């Protein structure tokens, strides 16, 4: 009886349900990240990059896309994630150009295109910073991508921080949402996942 209960508990803990009630497996044996293949959200975006170019997910077809939300003044999560992704690209070797990193700002007040470009270039010249264009558009995007962000006031008006979702979305070369990668996942584990997606898994 205890074994049956444990099995049921495992099955339940390995299930995710989208807002539409569709079942998505979260216990993929092939990937280290959470397998969200078939999720009915975060399927596309219409944003602007730091060179004022409109961008959509289809622009990066043929590449594995890693997308996450953050802000330039983030003290820890964002620079750590970008540093890990720079290392990930290096570890991909010749396949490094098949990886596209997209950083979506949740700080429209301070993250101007110029600031975003300077910040991203520090990590890798191919990494793109994207912005929604207005607070309302950012809020709508956050709902579509099921991410959280909230401004936290500091000691001065300019010293505020932004609490935000720290995980990343990973899309396969066909532009399909496949994985959610938790913040702090070892680079070598993400590397294995990206290689599998590049191989057609």
The CATH topology of domain 30-198 is: Glutaredoxin (3.40.30)
User: What is the model's pLDDT at position 29?
Assistant: 62
Read off the pLDDT of residues 70-125 as tens digits, 9 standing for 90 and up.
Answer: 999 999 999 999 999 999 999 999 999 999 999 999 999 999 999 999 999 999 99
Q: Which residues contact 92 (CB under 8 A, 6 or more apart)?
A: 98, 99, 191, 194, 195
Instruction: Please state, in angstroms and rounded to a whole number, the distance separating the CA atoms of residues 7 and 1.
Output: 10
Domain positions in the chain: 30-198
């Amino acid at each position: 009886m205890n074994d049956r209960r444990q099995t049921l508990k495992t099955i339940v803990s390995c299930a995710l349900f989208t807002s539409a009630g569709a079942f998505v497996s979260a216990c993929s044996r092939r990937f280290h990240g959470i397998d969200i293949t078939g999720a009915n959200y975060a399927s596309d975006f219409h944003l602007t990059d730091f060179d004022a170019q409109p961008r959509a997910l289809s622009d990066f077809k043929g590449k594995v896309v890693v997308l996450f939300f953050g802000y330039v003044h983030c003290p820890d999560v964002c620079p750590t994630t970008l540093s890990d992704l720079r290392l990930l690209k290096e570890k991909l070797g010749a396949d490094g150009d098949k990886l596209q990193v997209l950083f979506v700002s949740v700080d429209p007040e301070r993250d101007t295109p110029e600031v975003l470009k300077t910040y991203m270039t520090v990590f890798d010249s191919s990494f793109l910073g994207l912005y929604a264009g207005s607070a309302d558009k950012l809020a709508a995007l956050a709902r579509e991508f099921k991410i959280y962000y909230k401004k936290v006031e500091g000691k001065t008006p300019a010293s505020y921080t932004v609490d935000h979702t720290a995980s990343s979305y990973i899309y396969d070369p066909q532009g399909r949402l496949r994985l959610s990668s938790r913040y702090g996942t070892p680079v070598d584990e993400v590397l294995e996942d990206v290689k599998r997606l590049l191989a057609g898994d």
